[in-house]
Structure 1
Amino acid sequence: MTTQRDRWAELTGGQGGEEYARRFARLAASGQDVHGEAFFCAALLGPGARILDAGCGTGRVAIRLAELGYHCAGVDVDLSMLAVARREAPASRWLHGDLARLDTLGLDPDFDLVVAAGNVIPLLAPGTEPTVVRQLAAVLRPGGLLVTGMGLDAAHLPLPEATVTLTDFDDWCERAGLALRERYATWDGAPYEQGGGYAVSVHARAAG
């Protein structure tokens, strides 16, 4: 594990799992669609694909994708979040680990898609972002996809200011062997406009 705590841990003290789960349960009960990330990923690859939910939290995205026929694993550093995921889907593969040290978890580098939703990248420990992107790219098969969603301003983050720019993020991806394929403003595919406060990005690893 890294010695520096990630921004999510600074916000929650590593005890946010149950409240996070309750918040999404309330949203679902009110009629809101809470599975936009899963449906976005499902539109990119057919059932049977191998998907890693990086920063999986309570497992909301991976559990829905598994229900749709995908082979999923989840990784998170927050044990309170993983406890919820393990309770909700005990047969699924949930790994406790730091994304900056993903290579220590014994994952085969053959995932068809890695998804990092829920502001995973902006909430990493400061300075670890390029390493995490490189680690995520390394577990993708040739031609595999990295899908990310992140806030780019305070209105779209649980933070007073942005921690990541798209310019920096695209640079980290390029250095990790990933090329930008698509970018949207929302998980339902609204077009992204320069200066927007949220971005959903699809980067692809070279095919060979």
Structure 2
Amino acid sequence: MVETSIWMQKVAADPGHSRWYIERFRAMARAGDDLAGEARLVDAMAPRGARILDAGCGPGRVGGYLAAAGHQVVGVDVDPALIEAAEQDHPGPRWLVGDLAELDLPARGITEPFDLIVSAGNVMTFLAPSTRVQVLARLRAHLRDDGRAVIGFGAGREYEYPQFLDDAAAGGLTPDLLLSTWDVRPFTDDSDFLVAVLRPA
């Protein structure tokens, strides 16, 4: 039995949490806020028409942008409410409810492997800690041998960066590039955000 994610624990404690999160991003989009920074970086790394997995896709803002740019996108999230919002707001990609710790897309009729995997929005910090290595290993299993995974999350969320990099290594991934922002600023010892570009080890 896979431990329940921190995200779904929040949803269980506050049934309105998912709706709040969805409406927050819809309001930001209406206000004209830039919500595509992560997707622009991934798009710049991808060949045209790439197969991209949005792991922990939430309500679909990253995967929706990438699909509109011409990529073949599959988005997976554990929260059915977020997947429903993704289907409403960003038609085009294939949106699936699923736990990243048990990710098996071929069993669901999805062709793999993927050219790129993106995990934005602090997804790694919402996982159950006991499943982190398992999730990273499942992402590696869905990635081409010459593909890359791009994972970003903030500091102060009970997942230290050295531990994440150790977990990534245990999951079969090694760093190509470490950044402190999605707009490609270098990572330093005092960075309060990490964007890790990883490749199969």
Q: Is the Cα–Cα contact under 8 Å of residues 64 and 91 in structure 2 kept in the other structure?
A: no
Q: Does 1:64 align with 2:47?
A: no
1:74 aligned partner: 75
What does 1:87-126 correspond to in 2, within 5 Å? 87-103=88-104, 106=107, 107-126=110-129
Runs of 4+ in 1 over 6 A off after TM superposition: none
Residue from 141, 153, 159 that aligns with 2:144: 141
Q: Does 1:191 align with 2:190?
A: no
Query: Displacement, 1:126?
Result: 2.4
Q: How many angstroms apart in 1 are the aligned matches of 2:40 and 2:91?
A: 22
1:165 aligned partner: 160
Q: How many angstroms apart in 1 are the aligned matches of 2:45 and 2:170?
A: 23
Q: Which has the higher helix share?
A: 2
Query: Displacement, 1:32?
Result: 2.2
Q: How many angstroms apart in 1 are the aligned matches of 2:9 and 2:33?
A: 28
Q: Is the Cα–Cα contact under 8 Å of residues 16 and 81 in structure 1 kept in the other structure?
A: no
Q: Is the Cα–Cα contact under 8 Å of residues 76 and 98 in structure 1 kept in the other structure?
A: yes
Q: 1:67 to 1:76 in 2, by over 3 A?
A: same
Query: Displacement, 1:90?
Result: 4.0
Q: How many angstroms apart in 1 are the aligned matches of 2:149 and 2:22?
A: 25
Residue from 170, 175, 198 that aligns with 1:175: 170
- Structure 1 vs Structure 2: percent identity of aligned residues? 39
SS in structure 1 at match of 2:181: coil
Q: Is the Cα–Cα contact under 8 Å of residues 106 and 112 in structure 2 kept in the other structure?
A: no
Query: Displacement, 1:103?
Result: 2.3
Q: Is the Cα–Cα contact under 8 Å of residues 105 and 111 in structure 2 kept in the other structure?
A: no
Q: 1:73 to 1:11 in 2, by over 3 A?
A: same
Q: Is the Cα–Cα contact under 8 Å of residues 116 and 147 in structure 2 kept in the other structure?
A: yes
1:159 aligned partner: none
Query: Displacement, 1:195?
Result: 2.8
Give a deviation string over 1:172-203, Cα, whole Å, max 9, x none.
22222222011111111122211322111100
Q: How many angstroms apart in 2 are the aligned matches of 1:32 and 1:189?
A: 19
Q: Select between 70-79 and 108-117 the one with higher mean Cα deviation.
A: 108-117
1:6 aligned partner: 5
1:129 aligned partner: 132
2:197 aligned partner: 202
Query: Displacement, 1:122?
Result: 0.7
Structure 2 residues without counterparts, runs of 5 or longer? none
Q: Is the Cα–Cα contact under 8 Å of residues 17 and 57 in structure 1 kept in the other structure?
A: no
Q: Return the TM-score normalized by structure 2.
A: 0.90
Q: Return the TM-score normalized by structure 1.
A: 0.87
Q: Is the Cα–Cα contact under 8 Å of residues 174 and 200 in structure 2 kept in the other structure?
A: yes
- Which amino acid letter does the alignment assign opposite residue 147 of structure 2? G
Count, aligned residues: 197
